[in-house]
């Protein structure tokens, strides 16, 4: 933190110097505005989704506050939104053009996940979740046939609570230019996140807990930039610090009061993310070359370390033999290096060349943790000879891009290009991946009746160094391929166009088509397709009216393969079955703006409708006739979201206006796993879940406001 304090002191010292350097005076300016009013919201159904990242509570509000001041060459801009609400935001900018800039902001983002979650657990102290002993003993003495319905009844009888969190971010920085060849820049951001989120655990029973969140992030970016002739140089320092103040979670076994061998009375979860830091330095040089060319080189080195938190013991079950830890802390450490090289050249008005190379190396230097003995599921001690070593994941990437643009005539530009992406990683069934991509573009831009942007890409990814033991060690079948590194051919094409029918009307069209074909994936993702089409128009029939209407259609299709054979090496293709997914989305967006009605009234309306249907069907017989029965298709997942707004403003005079706004939201869905009906229909079982669900709602928000300008 000494570095941050020094930088802040430097900014305070430099600001007066910059002010003294300014001698020019401008005409003073003092402008501002604010919205003051009252708002009310009524909701039927579950409002959590409607209010997810915002505060729509009833009452007075102060919104849209702006203040702009210019005096003696200085500019001050201040803004505020949702003042006093949980989603409030404040910004300020302080500028002396050509010499000094400073900014600051404060942003609050709430996250309301659910208002109907329930749990029989009580957090008796930070991170400690308990169930009354009498309840534990009663469930312990029940038979299985009685215990499962009792779990369901226990959750249903628990009070509902809001599962939520909040994120607060303070940011600031400055930019100081003592002369035209030197620039100092500093940015600092501090983010805190508190609240709770659902987290799964298992202790003879499937359990969900509202896991506490208490995290802090601090980011610092400082640099010095100077120019000498044709060259531009920059050196910088970056720092990022993460602190997790939430304690590891300890929770009661709902069906076991005291510790027993194989059945502990309590379980625990590790701290979700340990403290860590990342410190790095970077440098950049950019040189202007003849023939309108430039070469730029950037490199960065950084070190990552954990905060030294202790490794949790294998078990807290007092009835199980204690197994000592090999060491008390992880000693996590990694080093990263990144290099970017860019060459751009426009030797003639018809030719433009862009070449980019990127290199990244993540070198994990965490010492191995040999595991020779451990406690399995809080029950008994297992051993391994030789010991099982931990996996320190590392990766190297090399990426080369090159494009040649030709503009032989008029506004049309043709381009051809390609890229090569190579990656080396450990502890994956392919140690190396190379993806080669070729692309062509055709664009027509500039002043004209027709604008077109189009691109077609084709790529091939291939893996090398296959090691089936990586799959077998995690009990996966040898024909399984993970989609992010599996061999794949990809083709994609997109087109965006606009036709200016006349000065007041334009037609917009776009499409995107793509397909992924996984060549050697016996099991896993085999195909992935998407087809997207949209059309719309905008128009201004006169100076007062602006219209807009658009429609889009999206279709996403996937095919995955699985196998019911118990063996991981002897795979019977007759036991294959496929899952085909098809997601179709229809969207309509419309808007009508009418301004200056009788020179007093502005009226703006919007309408947004999204309709989604997702189907999942099963198939057999690929690649040989199947011995399986045809599975029953799953019910279609349906989702419909409708939003409409009306905003009217009456201008009493140039400084004062009154406004009325109305929002309408309706969300309807059918989801066989996550809607309220699915949860209510769930068969009692060996679980204590929070009961989070996707629930429909209909919401109305109305507010009136006084708008003041000065």
Beta strand 576-597 pairing with 545-563: antiparallel
Residue in the block written with tokens 């009418």: 594
Strands 128-130 and 122-125: antiparallel
Distance CA 548, CA 592 (A): 7
Q: Cβ atoms within 10 A of the Cβ of 427, count?
A: 12
**CA-to-CA distance for 142 and 86, rounded, in angstroms?**
46
Strands 100-118 and 59-71: unpaired
**Closest residue by Cα to residue 127 from 256, 263, 267:** 267
Sequence length of the chain is 710
CA distance 164 to 213: 10
* C-alpha closest to that of 48 among 115, 117, 118: 115
**H or E segment and range at residue 14:** helix 2-21
Which residue shows structure tokens 């409030």? 88
- Whole-number pLDDT of residue 26: 62
* Nearest CA among 706, 591, 606 for reference residue 663: 606
For residues 58 and 41, give the distance between their C-alpha atoms in angstroms, rounded to a whole number.
6
Q: What is the mean pLDDT of each run of 10 residues along the chain (710 residues)?
A: 39 42 63 94 92 93 93 94 95 95 97 94 95 95 94 94 97 95 97 95 90 96 96 97 93 93 86 91 97 97 94 89 91 97 96 98 95 88 90 95 93 96 94 97 90 97 93 91 96 97 94 96 95 97 95 98 93 93 98 94 97 95 89 91 97 95 96 84 89 92 95
- What is the per-residue pLDDT across 99-126, written as a single tens digit (0 to 9) for each? 999 999 999 999 999 999 999 999 999 9
- State the pLDDT at residue 263: 86
Q: Is the sign of the CA dihedral 259, 261, 263, 267 positive or negative?
A: positive
Question: Tokens 């037609």 appear where?
Answer: 507
In three-state secondary structure terms, 221 is strand
Task: Please give the structure tokens belonging to residue 213.
Answer: 């969140």
- What global pTM score does this model have? 0.88
* Selection from 640, 536, 541 nearest residue 586 by Cα: 640
- Chain Cα centroid distance, residue 281: 26
Neighbours of 464 (CB within 10 A): 10
Q: Cα(417)–Cα(436) distance, rounded to whole angstroms?
A: 11
Nearest to 518 by CA among 493, 489, 491: 489
Query: Checking DSSP bridges between strand 128-130 and strand 249-252, what pairing results, if any?
Result: parallel
Phi, psi (5° rounding) for residue 224?
-125, 130
Q: Please, are residues 101 and 93 in contact by the beta-carbon 8 Å criterion?
A: yes
End-to-end alpha-carbon separation of the chain, Å? Answer: 42
């Amino acid at each position: 933190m000494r570095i941050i304090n020094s930088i802040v002191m430097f900014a305070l010292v430099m600001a007066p110097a910059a002010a003294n350097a300014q001698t020019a005076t401008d005409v003073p300016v003092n402008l501002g505005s604010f919205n003051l009013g009252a708002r009310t919201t009524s909701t039927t159904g579950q409002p959590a989704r409607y209010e997810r990242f915002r505060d729509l509570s009833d009452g007075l509000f102060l919104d849209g506050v702006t203040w702009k001041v210019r005096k003696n060459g200085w500019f001050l801009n201040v803004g505020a939104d949702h003042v006093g609400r949980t989603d409030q935001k404040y910004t300020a900018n302080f500028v002396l053009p050509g010499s000094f800039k400073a900014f600051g902001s404060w942003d609050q983002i709430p996250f309301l996940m659910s208002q109907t979650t329930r749990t029989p657990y009580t957090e008796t102290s930070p991170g400690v979740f308990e169930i009354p002993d009498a309840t534990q003993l009663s469930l312990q003495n029940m038979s299985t046939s009685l215990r499962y319905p009792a779990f369901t009844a226990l959750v249903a009888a628990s009070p509902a609570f809001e599962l939520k969190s909040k994120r607060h971010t303070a940011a600031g920085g400055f930019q100081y230019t003592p002369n035209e060849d030197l620039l100092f820049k500093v940015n600092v951001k501090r983010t805190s996140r508190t609240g709770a989120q659902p987290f799964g655990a298992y202790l003879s029973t499937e359990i969900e807990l509202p896991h506490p969140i208490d995290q802090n992030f601090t980011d610092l970016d400082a640099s010095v930039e100077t120019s000498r002739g044709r060259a531009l140089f920059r050196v910088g320092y970056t720092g990022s610090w993460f602190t997790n103040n939430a304690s590891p979670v300890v929770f009661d076994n709902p069906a076991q009061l005291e510790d027993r061998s194989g059945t502990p009375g309590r379980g625990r979860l590790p701290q979700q993310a340990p403290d860590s830091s990342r410190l790095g330095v970077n440098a950049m040089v950019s040189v202007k070359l003849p023939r309108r060319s430039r070469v730029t080189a950037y490199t960065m080195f950084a070190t990552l370390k954990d905060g030294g938190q202790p490794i949790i013991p294998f078990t807290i079950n007092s009835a199980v033999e204690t197994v000592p830890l090999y060491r008390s802390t992880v000693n996590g450490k990694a080093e990263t290096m990144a290099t970017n090289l860019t060459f751009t050249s426009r030797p003639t008005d018809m030719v433009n060349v862009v070449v980019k190379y990127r290199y990244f190396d993540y070198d994990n230097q965490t010492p191995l943790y040999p595991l020779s003995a451990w406690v399995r599921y809080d029950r008994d001690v297992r051993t391994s000879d030789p010991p099982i070593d931990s996996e320190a994941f590392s990766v190297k990437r090399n990426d080369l891009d090159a494009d040649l643009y030709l503009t032989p005539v008029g506004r049309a530009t043709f381009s051809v290009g390609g890229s090569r992406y190579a990656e080396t990683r450990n502890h994956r069934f392919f140690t190396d991946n190379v993806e080669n991509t070729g692309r062509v573009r055709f664009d027509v831009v500039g002043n004209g009746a027709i604008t077109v942007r189009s691109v077609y890409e084709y790529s091939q990814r291939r893996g090398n160094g296959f090691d089936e033991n990586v799959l077998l060690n995690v009990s996966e079948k040898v024909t399984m391929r993970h989609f992010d590194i599996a061999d794949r051919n990809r083709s994609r094409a997109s087109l965006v166009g606009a036709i200016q029918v006349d000065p007041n009307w334009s037609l917009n069209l776009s499409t995107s088509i793509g397909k992924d074909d996984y060549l050697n994936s016996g099991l896993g993702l085999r195909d992935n397709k998407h087809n997207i089409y949209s059309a719309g128009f905008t128009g201004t029939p006169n100076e007062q009216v602006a219209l807009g209407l658009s429609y889009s259609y999206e279709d996403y299709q996937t095919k995955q393969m699985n196998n019911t054979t118990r063996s991981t090496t002897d795979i019977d293709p007759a036991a294959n079955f496929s899952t085909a997914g098809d997601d179709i989305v229809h969207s309509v967006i419309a808007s009508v703006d009418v301004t200056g009605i009788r020179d007093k009234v502005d009226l703006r309306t919007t309408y947004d409708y999204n309709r989604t249907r997702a189907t999942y069907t099963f198939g057999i017989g690929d690649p040989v006739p199947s011995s399986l029965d045809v599975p029953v298709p799953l019910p279609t997942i349906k989702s419909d979201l409708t939003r409409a707004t009306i905003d009217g403003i009456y201008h009493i005079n140039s400084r004062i206006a009154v406004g009325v706004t109305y929002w309408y939201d309706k969300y309807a869905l059918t989801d066989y796993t996550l809607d309220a009906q699915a949860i209510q229909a769930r068969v009692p079982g060996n679980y204590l879940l929070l009961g989070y669900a996707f629930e429909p709602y209909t919401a109305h928000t109305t507010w009136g406001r006084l708008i003041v300008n000065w």
